Chain A
Amino acid sequence: MISPVKVWRNQKFVARMVARRGVVVSWTVIRVPPADFGYQAPYPVVIVRLDGGESIAAQMVDYEEKHLAIGQKVISVVRRTIQTETDDVIPYGIKVKPI
């Protein structure tokens, strides 16, 4: 379980990072997931250079295989990051989708 205080504190980052455009500089597909991500695998993880210069690592969502490419344009979106127990705060974070 992620501490609800950490989830609350992370909201500032999420608010700042949403709806930012960028370009994929590298990509992979995680096929052997860690403990909390089992139900999502396989899923792509990309490094994106955002307009404005900052770079982030994020999952790519709503994609087709052709979007897994260096140079693919993306936009950041808010998505749930991991599955949690019913009494946990739902953790939302930044992912990216192709545009």
Chain B
Amino acid sequence: MKIYIIGAATTKFGELWGVSPRALAREAVDSALADAKLQTSDVDALFVGNMLSGMLGGQEHIGAFFAEELGLSVPAFKIEGACASGGLALHNAVNSVLSGQYTTVVVLGVEKMTDHKPEDVATALMGAGREGERLAGATFPGLYALLARVHMATFGTTEEQLAAVAVKNHYHASLNPNAQFQTPITIAQVMKSSCVADPLKLLDCSPISDGAAALIITSDKRQIIDKKPVEIIASVTATDSLGLAQRESLLELKSTKKAGQKAYALAHMAPEDIGVAEVHDCFTIAEVLAMEDLGFYKKGKAAIAIANGETTLGKSKHLVVNPSGGLKGCGHPVGATGVKQVVELVDQLKGRAGRRQCGNARIGLAHNVGGSGATATVHILMRD
């Protein structure tokens, strides 16, 4: 059985004070259904990826909540894995179709974060970590700063090299009308931005955002209108310890390594086959780690390569990373990100990414992480 993506859409990401979670979901799903030329009556199930609806919005049970809002009287599920919620929702949707119980499934990633004070959002996000980290007052920038510190001490990675990740992703975002940030930034601007958790500065950190993204997947070839449809050829999840202190090594995210290796094996691919990738750059150091842990570069070698433009649109000889702008440039509405990454890959593989088009990539990889690496999902997509 093959799984095809027949519809893909996102909303604008950003501080969308005038837009409710219901409106975000309707916009994303209506657009995805239109993309697939389908009606709600064609849908067999709904998977919703979201982290904070309870803590921030007081609303749990959002499988049912969004099923009602979308006019889908179908089995509906909320899937949560912190910032990997979107990737996990897709993974579970894929498995539900592979089971044979459902044929055509909607995956919705949605998050509403900007209704609340940043310090309250930061507290809610700490729910993605371990209690010991919360009692220590370790925010998420703090946890990734701990990873950055070890990477810099061991491999000589510099703050300027980390800053280059943010510069690249803001440049890509400036070509993406849906991205939260629309202006390029410079290394100097990143270096001058105020310190959030040493050594990570404001511009090393992805923002607090609102947004939604939706995918329609199916195993039914009759639903396919594109002569060359996009196929999901691997969908993998891996788990590691909840907290950083319990990791075997602070120089890598083992969950990413495990998910990546299994995904390549299932897809019969290797890192060099990937032409376009969306990886989880919640903080600049996270993209450096991702490039190493996904096998694109040897340990300790990714930062300088990124700083040299090896994965930048227009400069790269092959692989472009985070053409959407990544989490840093496009924004990071937590539950929506993992789904948006795959929407971006679909647009790239179908040649409809406009000014962000990365040549004729045939194979794309999406990498979505929960917390400081407790969960990682990897999806590999192919279009002939």
Contact = CB atoms under 8 A, between A and B. Distances in A.
A13 to B, nearest CB: 9
A31 interface: yes
B146 A30 contact: no
B123 A34 contact: yes
Interface of A: 25-38, 40, 43, 45-48, 55-59, 70, 81-82, 91, 93-95
B142 interface: yes
A26 B139 contact: no
A82 to B, nearest CB: 8
B197 A57 contact: no
B265 interface: no
Contacts of A56: 132, 245
A31 B120 contact: no
A33 B245 CA distance: 20
A86 B282 CA distance: 38
Contact of B142 (A45, A48, A82, A95): A45
Contacts of B133: 57
A26 B146 contact: yes
Nearest to B147: A26
26 contacts: A26-B250, A27-B146, A27-B149, A29-B197, A30-B141, A30-B142, A30-B197, A31-B195, A31-B197, A31-B198, A32-B139, A33-B122, A33-B139, A34-B122, A35-B117, A36-B123, A37-B137, A38-B119, A40-B137, A45-B137, A45-B197, A47-B245, A55-B246, A57-B130, A57-B132, A70-B153
B165 interface: no
A29 B194 CA distance: 13
B244 interface: yes
Instruction: Report the interface size class on chain B.
Output: 35 or more
Contacts of B132: 56-58
A3 B137 CA distance: 18
B135 A81 contact: yes
B1 interface: no
B136 A59 contact: yes
B136 A58 contact: yes
B33 interface: no
Nearest 8 CB-CB pairings of A with B? A28-B145, A55-B245, A37-B137, A34-B122, A34-B123, A26-B146, A35-B119, A29-B198
A5 to B, nearest CB: 14
Contacts of B141: 30, 32
Contacts of A28: 142, 145-146, 149, 197-200
A25 B118 CA distance: 29
A57 B245 contact: yes
A59 B137 contact: yes
Residue among A34, A58, A82 with most chain B CB within 10 A: A34
Contact of A47 (B117, B146, B199): B146
Contact of A45 (B122, B123, B146): B146
Contact of B137 (A30, A47, A48, A70): A30
A40 B138 CA distance: 12
Nearest to B125: A34
Nearest to A81: B135
Given A32-B196, A35-B119, A47 B244 contact: yes
Residue among B118, B135, B200, B250 with most chain A CB within 10 A: B135
Given A27-B146, A29-B197, A34 B244 contact: no
Contacts of A82: 137
